[in-house]
Structure 1
Amino acid sequence: MHGIETIPVSRVRDGALDLLKWLALLSMVLDHLRYVGLSLDGLYVPGRLAFPWFCLVIAANVQRVKDVPATFQWRYLGWLLLFSVISEVPYRMFIADAHSLNVLPTLALGMLIARGWQQKTAVDRGLALIAVLLAAIFSTHLMFGFFGVLLPLAMLLVFRRPWYFSVVPGLVCVAANQWQVLLSSASVVALSGLAMCLIAPLAGWVLLRHAKHVSPPAMRRWAYALYPLHFLLLLFVRQIVAGPM
């Protein structure tokens, strides 16, 4: 879940970007509702919007500011890594058979790669290279794998290009979502999920470009805590659904 914190380049916030964060958060919660013990498999489809939209938030932040103080870079990365650790226990409690880490390490590595491409300094390029190597070595341990780590960069590369270039990050998003398994199942939900992955970048860009007039509540640093907290809340809901043993 991240890219939550917007780079503070001015006092004027981007309402469309805050809206995208809230919608990505909502999509994530809907996706995880599938694990509370009810027949909600159809929520898999809107749930495919969450990860690419958080990646788009990261790309938007990197694109908006090319000259960011190093202190912000380390603080931004530090918050991601801190809540990566904090979130792992609630994540494992809620999804007991998880085969990967929570999503925040994937987003942290993706942010470093996108920033390294944009900044072009020796330090940023070095960190980006380390992130690529870590993603390649530990791909099976990362949620959305190697392609998931590359998705913020794919978003950034076509950020200012015509709408049809969105097919590039769309294909990267499909690759990050175990497309072979989904395609082989041939179910309506699985195929709809693949289609949602493909169009998610375009849908996010349309929102960013045409929702400038909105002014939802700003997502600030406190929003990092929503990631581990939502696991605990859904775990409580699952216990209610399960009823007394």
Structure 2
Amino acid sequence: MGRRDGALDLLKWLALLSMILDHLRYVGFSADWLYVPGRLAFAWFCLAIAANLARNDASSNPWRYLGWLLLFSAVSEIPYRLFIPDPATLNVMPTLMLGLLVARCWQTPTLEARCLAATALLLAALFSSRLMFGFYGVLLPVAMLLVFRRPWYFALLPGLACVAANQWRVLYGAAWLGDAVAIWGLVACLIAPWLGLMLLRHASRFHPLPMRRWAYGLYPAHFLVLLAVRQAMA
């Protein structure tokens, strides 16, 4: 149980790469198509949360994991607002934090855990417009956890949650009008959980650089690096 899961580290690195590709759209490049691979990032970060919870051995501490998310939610907000023009939501960390809390409490069949999960869901519902990926984004980690060890076709459940979390009304409307980016964006949302699960199940022979606690700093750091690139191009 103490062996490092190379497939999980690979999933995290690919999620980070997908996020950076998505954010390159705000640097100044005319590359709307980067929206499509960008749809994989949030789903794969949620899957990484579910994977960590699913292998919840005696040495794991999901509450410490929650603490790191809380810390970097605060640290990341200023770089996020410096880079994203007129953001309508907070950075992604609060959504992941609430999602982790709901998924962890679902694993713990006690009244206290159920009440804590209900509180997190209530906060997500009340402040959905301020959370990146909204209420359904908070549900995505537990949806991933529910299907983690099930046959591949169960991945449709978190796939639908991923579509709902990604402004599906706007995407669906644009796709209906034939917009290729919207069509492929919907496809990417729908299949992202399945792709991630297949990677976790079949990529164990890969051993990339382990993503440890230092990796939390990559989230605010990438905003600052891309901001510097944008200013250099101006």
Task: Kindly tell me the number of residue pairs found equivalent between the two proteins.
Answer: 231
1:222 aligns with 2:207: no
Structure 1 segments (4+ residues) deviating >2 Å = 66-69, 121-127
Q: 1:175 aligns with which of 164, 167, 174?
A: 164
CA distance in 1, matches of 2:115, 2:99: 14
The residue aligned with 2:150 is 161
- TM-score normalised to structure 1 length: 0.91
Conserved 8 A contact 1:174-1:198:
yes
CA distance in 1, matches of 2:58, 2:116: 17
The residue aligned with 2:107 is 118
The residue aligned with 2:29 is 38
The residue aligned with 1:241 is 233
1:177 aligned partner, one-letter code: N
Deviations 1:123-180 (A, max 9, x none): 4333212111110111110000000000001111111111111111000000000111
CA distance in 2, matches of 1:76, 1:148: 18
What is the RMSD computed on CA atoms of the aligned residues?
1.3
- TM-score normalised to structure 2 length: 0.95
1:199 aligns with 2:188: no
1:19 aligns with 2:10: yes
CA distance in 2, matches of 1:81, 1:36: 27
The residue aligned with 2:45 is 54
* 1:67, distance to aligned residue in structure 2 (A): 5.3
Deviations 1:32-56 (A, max 9, x none): 0000011011100000000000000
* 1:97, distance to aligned residue in structure 2 (A): 1.1
2:222 aligned partner, one-letter code: H
Conserved 8 A contact 2:62-2:104:
no
Counterpart mapping for 1:26-105 below 5 A: 26-65=17-56, 72-105=61-94
CA distance in 2, matches of 1:218, 1:28: 18
Structure 1 portions without partners, runs of 5+: 1-8
After alignment, is 59-68 or 150-159 more displaced?
59-68
CA distance in 2, matches of 1:116, 1:57: 17
